[in-house]
Amino acid sequence: IYTYLPLGLRVIKKIENIIREEMNRAGAQELLMPILSPAELWKETGRWDFYGKELLRCQDRHDRNFCFGPTHEEVITDLFRREIRSYRQLPLNFYQIQTKFRDEIRPRFGLMRGREFIMKDAYSFDRDEESARASYQKMYDAYQRIFIRCGLNFRPVEADNGLIGGSMSHEFMVLADTGEETILYEEQGTYAANVEQAEVLPPTESSTEHLLPLEKIDTPGMKTIKDVCKFLQVESHQLVKTLLYQTSVKEIIAVLIRGDHEANEIKINRLLNTTALTLADTETVARVTSAPVGFAGPVGLKEVRILADQAVQAMNNFVVGGNAKGTHLQNVNWDRDFKVETFADLRQAQAGDPSPLTKKPLSAARGIEVGHVFLLGTKYSEAMEATFLDEQGKETLAIMGCYGIGVGRTAAASIEQNHDAKGMIWPPSIAPFHVHLLPVTTSEKVLDTSKKLYQALTEAGIEVLWDDREERAGVKFNDADLIGIPYHLTIGDKGLKNSIVEIKHRRTGEVVKIKPGQILRYLEEQLSSQ
């Protein structure tokens, strides 16, 4: 949890204003909901339990339960059901810019992932699916404009709906090597998705080897795929790993994944219609497989449902754990040696996999999620009975969408994308000030010129930060580079002798020598071309 200092707060306010303008332009209306919300609303949708520890809870003096809003679907849906009666009032879209609280398990990187943070959240209500999709598209377009205006290099990608729910969603990813998310995309094409979401196409070829007899082999102490591959002199794609998961209803599930692939728990959850999948603990593994972790395999596993990634379906004569300490099995074949309940897309997509749209190989990049739009459908309106009367006077569930932008995270993402060794480089649209005025001596002439310029620029609506400290020029220049205001206006005695001041472009380092009387026009031109 942080205090926003004056310069940072100005950046936050600028981002908020861009968001506000674009939301208003898209027909959304601003309101402000309470930060605290009563447990009753959250119990109606089941999220009082479902949200888990990320939801910070508290009690009032009458021991009534509340939570600090991490998102506001419940509160807005409650408002809707109390206030909206008729289809004639739809479509509606309400938004707010407000402080959220999420008790993140790993808060990190400052404003990127704080526990208390500022979010713009919007909620749309429509009478039917078609109109809901149009509302979603409007927000999608508004988000494009917002992030373009913030000067960010970003990409919208298909995303998972997570704790919010619903049927379709896109994340807006700022491209940066330090990003926590991985996206897969077509270099020349439209497909882009969060790696969690990216669909993997079924393999096009299956192994045609003859089925060989099953063999048991001693692999003492070899618990990792690398160890086993080296020992047996096979490649990791000839091996199948068996992951044991415990579901939220305490069922144990085995998931088979090719040795060189990674399991995707979101896809497994979706297939099982569960949410809280965890890898089984050592005791459970020992109980189910009669072996320590590292030797689990599908052959002879009892009372455990076996799911397998579709890549396994294309394999035969593979290697698996032997369900006994220090043993593996070779030349294993599904169906002959064990039964698979379902083959499905259960693995993480990776760079090089074919695009589900065009089959061209996908590339990978790192990204920071700054915005997320969801088509919710009736998840919340159904749980909370948020209905309106349609043209025939029939009670109908509102179709909802929700749309979030992390304001602080957007500022942090801008820094990730715009900096050099000396400090930050703000795009003019969200910079705390437009111009950093840097008098380098305290002579009367320098002071007098500074004062006049400050006044003239300020009156013209240009925001000027005047460094009036009695510091050496070097100190001022270093601080100015660190703070990253786009234009540095340096005023010194030497220049003034020839009626010259200097404007430095922070991004390029380019220095322009200019007469004081021409500065206003120069800066106005520069700023309007941004």
Of the listed pieces 43-51, 220-228, 382-390, 399-407, which binds ligand ATP according to CB under 6 A? 399-407
State the Cα–Cα distance between residues 279 and 244, nearest whole angstrom: 6
State the Cα–Cα distance between residues 6 and 510, nearest whole angstrom: 28
Nearer Cβ to ligand ATP, position 99 or 313? Answer: 99
CB 379 within 8 Å of CB 77: no
Q: How far is the CB of 13 from ligand ATP (least distance, A)?
A: 17
Of the listed pieces 221-229, 243-251, 266-274, 400-408, which binds ligand ATP according to CB under 6 A? 400-408
Q: Which of 404, 428, 432, 495 binds ligand ATP (CB under 6 A)?
A: 404
Residue 409 touching ligand ATP (CB under 6 A): yes
Of the listed pieces 9-17, 147-155, 335-343, 406-414, which binds ligand ATP according to CB under 6 A? 406-414
Residues contacting residue 320 through CB under 8 Å, at least 6 positions apart = 239, 240, 241, 242, 256, 297, 298, 299, 328, 329, 332
DSSP bridge pairs for 424: 419
The CB-nearest residue to ligand ATP is: 406
Residue 117 touching ligand ATP (CB under 6 A): yes
Q: How far is the CB of 363 from ligand ATP (least distance, A)?
A: 22
State the Cα–Cα distance between residues 143 and 94, nearest whole angstrom: 15
Structure tokens that stand for 93 in this block: 């879209």
Q: How far is the CB of 265 from ligand ATP (least distance, A)?
A: 14
Of the listed pieces 33-41, 245-253, 347-355, 405-413, which binds ligand ATP according to CB under 6 A? 405-413
Nearer Cβ to ligand ATP, position 51 or 125? Answer: 51
Residues contacting residue 74 through CB under 8 Å, at least 6 positions apart = 37, 41, 42, 44, 45, 47, 380, 384
Residue 372 touching ligand ATP (CB under 6 A): yes
Nearer Cβ to ligand ATP, position 409 or 434? Answer: 409
Could you tell me the CA-to-CA distances from 276 to 50, 265, 268, 280, 303 in Å, in that order?
A: 9, 9, 10, 12, 21
Q: Which of 166, 259, 406, 484 binds ligand ATP (CB under 6 A)?
A: 406
CA-closest candidate to residue 304, choices 250, 378, 373: 250
Structure tokens that stand for 463 in this block: 């925001």
Here's the x/- map for ligand ATP, 331-370, by CB under 6 A: it reads as --------------------------------------xx
Q: How far is the CB of 324 from ligand ATP (least distance, A)?
A: 40
Phi, psi angles (nearest 5°) of residue 354: -70, 140
CB 377 within 8 Å of CB 166: yes
CA-closest candidate to residue 68, choices 112, 32, 110, 115: 115
Touching ligand ATP, residues 75-114 (CB under 6 A): 102, 104, 113-114
CB 170 within 8 Å of CB 373: yes
At 367, the amino acid letter reads G
Nearer Cβ to ligand ATP, position 114 or 486? Answer: 114
CB 219 within 8 Å of CB 327: yes
Place of tokens 């909206």: 84
Helix (H) or strand (E) holding 311: helix 310-313
Residue 417 touching ligand ATP (CB under 6 A): no
Nearer Cβ to ligand ATP, position 401 or 406? Answer: 406
Phi, psi angles (nearest 5°) of residue 6: -55, -45
Nearer Cβ to ligand ATP, position 69 or 371? Answer: 371
Touching ligand ATP, residues 462-521 (CB under 6 A): none
Phi, psi angles (nearest 5°) of residue 326: 70, 25
Q: How far is the CB of 20 from ligand ATP (least distance, A)?
A: 16
Nearer Cβ to ligand ATP, position 97 or 332? Answer: 97
Here's the x/- map for ligand ATP, 124-163, by CB under 6 A: it reads as --------------------------------------x-
Nearer Cβ to ligand ATP, position 111 or 501? Answer: 111
Nearer Cβ to ligand ATP, position 28 or 255? Answer: 28
Could you tell me the CA-to-CA distances from 499 to 392, 449, 491, 517 in Å, in that order?
A: 77, 10, 10, 9
CB-based contacts of 486-489 (< 8 A; 24+ apart in sequence)? 486/425, 486/426, 486/427, 486/428, 486/431, 486/434, 486/435, 487/434, 487/435, 487/436, 487/523, 487/526, 488/435, 488/436, 488/438, 489/435, 489/436, 489/437, 489/438, 489/453, 489/464, 489/519
Here's the x/- map for ligand ATP, 232-251, by CB under 6 A: it reads as --------------------
Nearer Cβ to ligand ATP, position 162 or 202? Answer: 162
Residue 179 touching ligand ATP (CB under 6 A): no
Q: How far is the CB of 379 from ligand ATP (least distance, A)?
A: 14
Residue 47 touching ligand ATP (CB under 6 A): no
CA 34 from centre of chain: 25
CB 367 within 8 Å of CB 182: yes
Of the listed pieces 248-256, 308-316, 358-366, 402-410, which binds ligand ATP according to CB under 6 A? 402-410
Q: How far is the CB of 483 from ligand ATP (least distance, A)?
A: 22
- Binding-site size for ligand ATP (CB under 6 A) equals 18
Of the listed pieces 89-97, 265-273, 403-411, 495-503, which binds ligand ATP according to CB under 6 A? 403-411
Residues contacting residue 412 through CB under 8 Å, at least 6 positions apart = 109, 110, 111, 112, 368
Nearer Cβ to ligand ATP, position 266 or 344? Answer: 266
Residue ranges in contact with ligand ATP by CB under 6 A: 71, 102, 104, 113-114, 117, 119, 162, 164, 369-372, 404-406, 408-409
